[in-house]
Structure 1
Amino acid sequence: MSGATGFWSYVHADDTTEGGRITRIAEDLAAQYEMITTEPISIFVDRSNIEWGQEWRAVIDSALASIAFFMPVLTPRYFKSRECRREFTEFALRATQLGVRELVMPILYIDSPLLSADEPDDELVALAKSFQWEVWTSRRFDSPESTEYRTAIARMAERLAKATAQAETVEVIVPPDEATVDADDSPGFIDRVVRAEQAMTEWAATLTSLQEPIVAVGEVTKAAGERVTEADRRGAGMAGRLEVFRQLSEDLSPHADSIQELGNSFASQMNDVDSGIQAIFDQAAEELRDESNPQLPEQLATFVDQLRTLAGAANEGLGALQGMVDAIAGVENQSRSLRPVLRKLRLGLTVLIDGRDVMNSWVARGEELLGDVAA
């Protein structure tokens, strides 16, 4: 048995909400797999990493000859993420075509009414239901040291070992014309690029609108800190702090609502922009293969430079929000009255921070294409 490669597909905001427990499952699964099989395994958990993009394209563009598996962590937010939807659809289609569906192993992490429908309207939900799930809805509350958690990890590792071993015995036959998949109802290249241009304008407006509530949160929080210091100076004790927290919750609430609403708009717009940029890359890859556009390498280099500048600005601007998220997580459980508004605020900010990963993935894919040109 050769070493396996896997892709852990999940929403980063879900992992943040769970305190890193979703990525912890991937780490524990890899360790258990290696102990069972004595074989190495690589599970990619960060789609913004250039290695993810390189491995992903290698797997999707090949006949999955080197064993690769896909484990989507299903939550309500998973089905709203364009990046997650694209990953699941691409890999599932490829695995089905090649007769290795056992390499797709969804993990049901949080149940949803979407998944309960006998005939779901969402095509991805219907696709997900066609695979055998690992149900984790109860296990996610177990301690990683508990017998129940460790047993579930071991069972998943054994299933993965069997699936990879079985896939190695399958005689893969690549369909003669993979372009025959019916995509009449899907948006075309121009549709996706035009929508991306529109979304980019909306996206810029959303980011501008976010500045006011984010600044307000900083000011309100700073004022609350000063009141805590004053209460401590007066010897008001924990009762004094609790009163400050109650007022802080009230003061933060409208700003948290704004950030959550604008964050959701940002995510939707980001999905549309991502679709357009991926369409540009897909067409560029095709033109590079048939060498139909001599000016393309120079045009592509300019485009990637623009994306690199955009991603750099995002890493600097959105990266500053990470400190705010970390600070919120540190005080979230100090007051019952403060907890709901801080959780809403943290989740709204995390959606924005996740945008960095998408932009970094654009740069990674662009650099990969430029590397192909230079090779």
Structure 2
Amino acid sequence: MTMNPSPAGFWSYTHRDDEIEEGRIRRLASKIANEFEGITADEFDVFIDKKDIRWGDEWRKRIDSALNGSTFFMPIITPRFLKSEECRREILTFIGHAKSLGLQELLLPILYFDVPQLREPDSSDEVVALIAERQYVDWTKLRLEDEDSPAYRKEVNRLAVRLVEIIEQTAEVEPPPILLPDSTDAEDEPGMLELMADAESALPGWAQVMEDFNVTVREVGERVTRANEESTRSDARGGGFAGRLRIMNELSKDLKDPVDRMSQLGNDYSAAIVKIDPGVLGLIRMVEEEGVTAENAEQVSNFFAVIKSAGSQNRFMVESVQEFANTLTDTSNLSKSMRPIIRKMRASLQHFMDGKAVWDEWERRISEVSEGLNLT
């Protein structure tokens, strides 16, 4: 008989934030775990140090096969958290698995430093949007309290009680039907092959967005190159710094339209991939649990190959575009008029980098499932 895993929480934060707080973020995790144990007499296993191999091993084990109503992901939300590639990857990975099982409540964000973006309606940052739609815990004022103060201890208790309540509420949650862009109504109960066809039909749209993004990046690159050439000619004519400044100001205006397109393409891409993520993960889990027959083995293998191929294309695009974005850093330092343009470009690139995290998780699960089912 398989025993259910003990209650656990994965604590996600940036080490610099904890350093600034002189260890208070890590201590908060321990206080919540101790309070939970005092209330329930059950140990609450908190995974804090991501450098510890046990954190990674348990993380993969739980999200793959043991993510139930007692495994929480507790990100400590700060401005630095939202800039951390690792932290963003973790939150996207967890919520995809949680939604595929109908267990969104297991994502329990703690707002530690104020993040104005969370108050913006319909944020284009998919990670901010995911946090905003959850009932996050606001710790921005409590972090200023003494850790032994009644107010601080009361809120630690309140949070521990909330964990207990969520465990009780999710104990009988049934996984929702797998939903993909072209799925029929849930009542029709589409089978594995129909679901794979639905997922596969979404890929051309993403491929087109990536191609359009690449075309726009090339357009930006050509305009930057022309501006650099003009700067060289201006220097030869003795234009000096005034000549360079004029060219940079003209370039910032020239880049507005293509950079706006980049921003919209990034928004479209991230919105689509975050929406379909739970369905693809649910489909992979269905293949793992139901296995493959002689009749559908080839279709399953082909579908997995298509996902992996698309993921490789996404990874290549992100790496090449990121390299290009890095070359623009010097340009932004030359003129303040270029800084908003570069920030917007980097923000649009972030959407594709987040998408890479989702694709990587699909590929990881596909590799594990393929190996377990001896699929070629």
> TM-score normalized by structure 2?
0.63
Change (3 A) 1:282 1:3: closer
Q: 1:124: Cα distance to partner?
A: 7.2
Partner of 1:144: none
CA contact under 8 A between 1:195 and 1:272: conserved in structure 2? no
Q: 1:221: Cα distance to partner?
A: 0.9
Q: How far, CA to CA, are the matches of 2:279 and 2:102 in structure 1? A: 22
Q: 1:362: Cα distance to partner?
A: 0.8
Partner of 2:361: 361
CA contact under 8 A between 2:100 and 2:176: conserved in structure 1? no
Q: 1:113: Cα distance to partner?
A: 4.9
Partner of 2:174: 179
1:114-153 equivalences under 5 Å are: 114=121, 128-129=134-135, 131-135=136-140
> TM-score normalized by structure 1?
0.63
Q: How far, CA to CA, are the matches of 2:327 and 2:315 in structure 1? A: 18
Change (3 A) 1:276 1:360: same
Partner of 1:214: 217
Partner of 1:307: 307
Partner of 1:320: 320
Cα displacement string for residues 102-139 of structure 1 (whole angstroms, at most 9, x for unaligned residues): x8233262332549xxxxxxx9789623x422349xxx
- Which residue, out of 273, 277, 281, partners 1:274? 277
Q: How far, CA to CA, are the matches of 1:23 and 1:265 in structure 2? A: 32
Q: How far, CA to CA, are the matches of 2:168 and 2:305 in structure 1? A: 39
Change (3 A) 1:231 1:27: farther
CA contact under 8 A between 1:231 and 1:237: conserved in structure 2? yes
CA contact under 8 A between 1:105 and 1:134: conserved in structure 2? no
Q: How far, CA to CA, are the matches of 1:201 and 1:273 in structure 2? A: 14
CA contact under 8 A between 1:60 and 1:94: conserved in structure 2? no
Q: 1:276: Cα distance to partner?
A: 4.2
Q: How far, CA to CA, are the matches of 1:126 and 1:259 in structure 2? A: 24
1:36-115 equivalences under 5 Å are: 41-43=48-50, 53-61=60-68, 63-64=70-71, 68-71=72-75, 73=77, 86=96, 93=103, 104-107=108-111, 109=115, 110-114=117-121
Q: How far, CA to CA, are the matches of 2:66 and 2:205 in structure 1? A: 34
- Which residue, out of 226, 251, 257, partners 2:229? 226
RCO (CA 8 Å, sep 6+): is it higher in 1 or 2? 1
- Which residue, out of 229, 243, 248, partners 2:246? 243
Q: How far, CA to CA, are the matches of 1:331 and 1:369 in structure 2? A: 46
Q: How far, CA to CA, are the matches of 2:373 and 2:17 in structure 1? A: 38
Q: 1:167: Cα distance to partner?
A: 9.7
Q: RMSD across aligned C-alpha pairs, in angstroms?
A: 5.2
After alignment, is 244-253 or 322-331 more displaced? 322-331
Q: 1:35: Cα distance to partner?
A: 7.1
Partner of 2:10: 6
Change (3 A) 1:318 1:30: farther
The percent of aligned pairs where both chains have the same amino acid is 20
Partner of 1:203: 206
* Alignment coverage as a number of residue pairs: 321
Q: 1:69: Cα distance to partner?
A: 3.7
Q: 1:256: Cα distance to partner?
A: 0.9
3-state secondary structure, aligned to 1:71 = strand
Q: How far, CA to CA, are the matches of 2:246 and 2:76 in structure 1? A: 43
Q: 1:217: Cα distance to partner?
A: 0.9
Q: How far, CA to CA, are the matches of 2:229 and 2:313 in structure 1? A: 32
Amino acid in structure 2 at the alignment position of 1:260: S
Cα displacement string for residues 50-106 of structure 1 (whole angstroms, at most 9, x for unaligned residues): 985544235514744xxx542274999x9xx9877646757994767xxxxxx8233
3-state secondary structure, aligned to 1:179 = coil
3-state secondary structure, aligned to 1:225 = helix
Q: 1:258: Cα distance to partner?
A: 1.8
Change (3 A) 1:58 1:209: same
Runs of 5+ in structure 1 lacking a partner?
Answer: 10-21, 97-102, 116-122, 137-147
3-state secondary structure, aligned to 1:261 = helix
Q: How far, CA to CA, are the matches of 2:254 and 2:132 in structure 1? A: 43
3-state secondary structure, aligned to 1:104 = coil
Runs of 5+ in structure 2 lacking a partner?
Answer: 1-5, 32-45, 83-87, 123-128
Change (3 A) 1:255 1:349: same
Q: 1:213: Cα distance to partner?
A: 1.9
